[in-house]
Amino acid sequence: MDSLNYLWRCIGWNIPKIDDYKRFTNALVAKGNTIFPLEQAPEKMPPPAVSWNYKGQPRQGPLPDLLANTGTTACIILQQGQIRYEQYFNGYQRDSINTSFSVAKSMTSALIGIAIAEGAIHSVEDPVARYLPAFDKKGQDQVTIAHLLQMCSGLAYREGVLPWTDDARVYYGLRLRDQALKANLIETPGTVYHYNNYNLLLLGLILEKTTSQPVPAYFSEKIWQPMGAEADASWSVDSRHSGFAKMESGFNALAIDFARFGQLCLQNGALNGHSIIPADWMHTATSAPTHKADTKTYLSRMVPPLCKWAGSPHGYYKYGWWGYQTDAHNFDYFALGAKGQFIYISPRKQAVIVRFGKQWGAIDWWPELLKQLADSLA
């Protein structure tokens, strides 16, 4: 029966869509009793003219036109914790739900940092097998939590949309716990970057095991409520029977609450003097490699060759976050999801830029545009 349901999901639901949360069973991520206010800035940001590339050709025009014509649903710019720009497009409003796709990976990273600070997890250098005995096999016993976070676990993963690919098996699967534990090792852990959603499922299993609660409940308790979310969120699960959170892609919320999460990260995980995500974790998870020699080695091993941004001399991937070193002393970092879901964070500008959309749209690489917007802020 699971096989038939899986095939129905693959064929009937077809390519993943931003409203897939309506199809999956969802676990509640409850908000708390207090909403953290995001005030309007005294001066709103006038819609700037922007430039971008599409199929390698330069284009330019007003920001609202670009957003409307690329399937954008929401664009929010915060600076100094105040709203400078907030617009919704293509039938979406402030109270519309957006799904995260792989933005959820950065949110999962924050949970790992909290679990370590609380002592539930000892260290990122721990082997996965310390928490998941099924991984205590030759080769697999060398895979660490850090390897999972950095996408260099060495586990096999086939990309694509057809039912026999791992992309489809993870996105549409009904028993993700079992699938994650069956992942085979094909490369030496720590040597090759390979974007792999099994890594996130394994992190979810570790969080379940060490915190003794479902990941959505843990996220609500440790992040969503303390950060003052405006509305309840949800985390899609693999099936009603299994109830395992879709760690790689399934977080669903208002765009303004994704902006609040970005603001929390910008503030090194603290709100009103209270640490929610450990500051040292935020730095470790997002910062650029320190030395030039380290950078060269790190990029040669850890960066996907087809990723323009991270493939540049200044790009990198850390613990569930993408980063861009803007100069010798500063870096921006961002959460990235399919179809152009972004939480872009610029500490040098004290800014958070959120873009969510139904599709990627006619633009080659959104982070270049988002960095351009950050650069334009005084």
Q: In the prediction, which pLDDT does 150 show? A: 93
The pair of structure tokens assigned to 364 is: 């080659």
Give phi and psi for 252, each to the nearest 5. -130, 130
Say if CB 334 and CB 262 are below 8 A apart. no
How many other C-beta atoms lie within 10 A of the C-beta of residue 136?
12
* Residue 98 β-bridge partners: 253
Rounded distance, CA 45 to CA 83, Å? 9
DSSP code at position 347: G
How many residues can be counted in the chain?
A: 378
pLDDT tens-digit map of 70-104: 999 999 999 999 999 999 999 999 999 999 999 99
Q: Which of the residue ranges 133-137, 244-248, 259-263 would you say has the lowest mean pLDDT? A: 133-137
Name the β-bridge partners of 60: 51
Q: What is the pLDDT of residue 301?
A: 42
What average pLDDT does the segment 345-351 reach? 98
- Burial class of residue 60 in the structure, from the number of CB atoms within 10 Å of its CB (0-12 exposed, 13-18 middle, 19+ buried): exposed
Mean pLDDT of the chain: 92
Identify the pLDDT of residue 314: 76
Q: Is the dihedral of CA 74, 238, 26, 226 positive or negative?
A: negative
Question: Element (H or E) spanning 226, and its range?
Answer: none
Q: Are 160 and 207 a contacting pair, CB within 8 Å?
A: no
Tokens of 294: 């380290």
Q: What pLDDT is recorded for position 240?
A: 96
pTM exceeding the 0.75 threshold for the entire prediction: yes
pLDDT at 189: 93
Confidence of residue 2 (pLDDT cuts 50, 70, 90): confident
Residue 312: which pLDDT band, with cuts at 50, 70 and 90? low
- pLDDT value of position 307: 37
CA–CA dist 254, 259 (Å, integer): 9
Which residues, in sequence order, are CB contacts of 178 under 8 Å at separation 6+?
Answer: none
Mean pLDDT value across residues 277-284: 97
Q: Percent of the chain scored above 70 by pLDDT?
A: 94
Contact 102, 119 (CB under 8 A): no
Q: Which of 148, 206, 138 is nearest to 177 (CA)?
A: 206
Query: Would the pLDDT of 295 be above 60?
Result: no
Check: CB of residue 351 under 8 Å from CB of residue 374: yes
**Rounded Cα–Cα distance for residues 323 and 326 (Å):** 9
Q: Hey, what CATH topology would domain 2-376 get? A: Beta-lactamase (3.40.710)
pLDDT of 290 above 80: no
Q: For residue 108, give the nearest of 5, 206, 212 by alpha carbon.
A: 206
Percent of the chain predicted with pLDDT > 90: 85
Residue pair 343/104 in contact (Cβ under 8 Å)? The answer is no
Q: Can you name the residues that pair with 356 across neighbouring β-strands?
A: 74
* CB-based contact 318:150 (threshold 8 Å): yes
User: Residues near 58 by Cβ (< 8 Å), separated by ≥ 6?
Assistant: 51, 52
Cβ-defined contacts of 112-115 (< 8 Å, 24+): 112/145, 112/149, 112/203, 112/206, 112/207, 112/281, 112/319, 113/269, 113/277, 113/278, 113/281, 113/282, 113/285, 113/319, 114/222, 114/223, 114/276, 114/277, 114/278, 114/281, 115/207, 115/210, 115/211
> Is pLDDT of 357 > 90?
yes
Angle between the 198-211 and 103-117 helix axes, to the nearest 10 degrees? 30
pLDDT band at 315 (very low <50, low <70, confident <90, very high): confident
pLDDT of residue 67: 98
Residue 185 belongs to what H/E stretch? none
For 194, other C-beta atoms within 10 Å of its C-beta total 17
Q: Which of 63, 9, 37, 112 is nearest to 376 (CA)?
A: 63
